Amino acid sequence: MIKIGMMIGERYEILEKIGTGGMSDVYKAKCHKLNRFVAVKVLKQEFSENANFVSKFRVEAQAAAGLMHPNIVNVYDVGEENGIYYIVMELVEGITLKKYIEKKARLSYKEAVSIAIQVSLGIEAAHNNHIIHRDIKPQNIIISKEGKVKVTDFGIAKAATSNTITSNVMGSVHYTSPEQARGGYSDEKSDIYSLGITLFEMLTGRVPFNGETTVAIAIKHIQEEIPSPKEFVLEIPNSVEQIVLKCCQKSPDRRYQSMGELIEDLKQSLINPEESFVVFQDPDEETATRFISDNEMAQIKRQSERRDTMDEALRLKADVEADMEEEYGEDEYTDDYDPRMEHITTVLTVIAGIVICCVIIFFVGKITGIFGAGLSSNNETSEDSGSLSDETVFMIPVANKSVAVAQNELKAIGLLSEIVYEESEVEQNIVIRASITEGTEVPIGTTVTLWVSAGTEGREVPNVVGYSYEDAVKRLQDSGFEVNKTDSYSADVAQGYVISQNPVSGKAPLGSSVVINVSLGEDDNKVRVPNLMGLPEDEATIKLIEAGLAVGAVSQMYSEEYAEGLVCYQSYSDGSYVDQGVTVDFKVSLGSAAVTYQYNAGIEAPTLEEAPDYVAGTPISISLVAEDGKILLENTSVTTFPYAANFFGIKSPRGTITFTYAVTTESTTATDEAGNTVVVPGTTESKTFTREVTFTQEVQ
């Protein structure tokens, strides 16, 4: 009997009860040997008294204890004390996926797929160690406070299903595979089926099969095709729908054959959600859905009649085993025997033998020179040249590029960079020169100094190395600079204090960014944020998921530095260290903003210098043409000034106003050759002059 405050295994102090299930109770405990908190799962009395169950449970739990994976609740210890059988596990603060789904009603397809990828990675690690879970369901998946997804209850599952299906599996019948419901052989593909049902529930907020009794639900798993999740949520992408349907095929041979295949399609669905890339195997008579036989129906009904309460329901597998043992004898029937697997094992053994023989022959040949000395020489030359190319790179051109683009291009080839600003007539934030000449071969990891223009009015960058993060930010912002933060572990600099900054000193453009590297203290298990800048949205999404981080809000913005469709902003800087599962937002470039201008001014009358013979009040024609040829005002007659001009959406920054007016001379008298007085009529002359104007850029 477990009591609060008691010590078990001479090291685990029971602190409080934190959960209960059909087969076990879970307690929070403190391990006094390693001074850490753990979860202790204690088997209930009815299972502790079953020797067969206990034996299988201990074997499986000990095997699970060898699994170490970030997406698995790790098992630390297995033990027994005074008839109490227990396993000691990692303590995960969080909620089950079941409660998370209930809280949110249903999940978005991106969140559901991201969770499914993490679950699949954990299950794949178990399968690679020949451990099958057999009880995948949202109740056995935990989401930590940091957002990390972990699968739990490895070990108990096989022991339970190989002995009897009890009340614990009553909650599992919604997720059980057809072969498990029939009591037949189950393997890795049973876990794939259960994960498919779990994904269905994440997407729709409900399970695909329901019924008044567990027997009715089991029959539906055996007999009925799974409905499409799009019947309940129309916006589910085509590829995600196909993945669910393939996972939940009745025949194991038509499902994904490994977790690796499933993970590949799940990742692809994040990149191309509406594409049809999921491949289904062609059905045949053997793999087609078969209706339950009369004998199986009678078997299931007999099970139901032998149970008066839900706590004793659904003993399908045990009864099938009992029938097999009665007919063939206990020694001739084993739970895990499958003739197909025996055949596959034989074939693989033969192939392995052939491969080993080829390897032996190859090495004997190399030693004795059968394959020729020339081959070895060529190989050595190739390896040497490959090694050289792996260790060095050639410096790329960076002059006349923006500093952000130059830094990212250097990072892409494995070079680091530091910035030194200097006042210059060159446009602000443009690289003037680099410390390494273009084309020079340098080792990977070399730091390249970039001299960058601070314009003609740079401001001195304060040195904040050694300051606390808060003080450093205040000093830099008070000086007119933006602050970008990165994090690094350091044994020398206290947590929260600045290790280094870039640029270190000198003058920089007002409003430019200063990157400060802040100490995280001693190293721990935090995750380094990957560099998403310049990546397409789909690649950035996958990179975050693979790093154990969650994809947050994805939005768009104009960017002068990054082409349309590429990430131009991320909420955590590249190189920062954050807790696993932290949500990272990023923005995708819309390309360069469409710059437009406006002209809101009063056009003034001609000046004496422009038109000395113009008479105020007389008509004058005005035309306004933008630099790109766009006519804004054409031959407009004006007699009074200033003339109001209001134009918007102009695509050129400058324009020309053309003034045209007439100058008329008065008539005069003159004497002709005959001595007669004649009248000479006046003349009219058209005159033109221009005035250059500059437009104002519109605010986006």
Catalytically active residues, by annotation: 135
DSSP state letters, 185-233: ---HHHHHHHHHHHHHHHHHSS-S---SSHHHHHHHHHHSPPPPGGGT-
**Rounded-to-integer distance, Cα 61 and Cα 451, Å:** 60
From residue 423, give the alpha-carbon distance in Å to each of 401, 430, 453. 17, 11, 6
* Secondary structure (3-state) at 454: coil
Residue 590 is encoded by which pair of tokens? 């819309």
| List of residues 6+ apart from 247 with CB closer than 8 A | 192, 193, 195, 196, 197, 199, 255, 256, 262
User: Which amino acid appears at position 372 of this protein?
Assistant: G
119 backbone dihedrals φ, ψ, rounded to 5°: -60, -45
Residue 375 is encoded by which pair of tokens? 């081959």
Residue 222 is encoded by which pair of tokens? 């055996």
The answer to whether the beta carbons of residues 211 and 220 sit under 8 Å apart is yes
First-to-last alpha carbon distance for the chain, in angstroms, is: 71
The pairs formed by 20-25 with CB atoms below 8 angstroms and a separation of 24 or more are 21/168, 22/166, 22/167, 22/168, 22/169, 22/170, 22/171, 23/47, 23/156, 23/160, 23/166, 23/168, 24/156
- Residue 294 CB burial class (10 angstroms; 0-12, 13-18, ≥19): exposed
Residue 490 is encoded by which pair of tokens? 């350091």
Beta bridge partners of 656: 625, 692
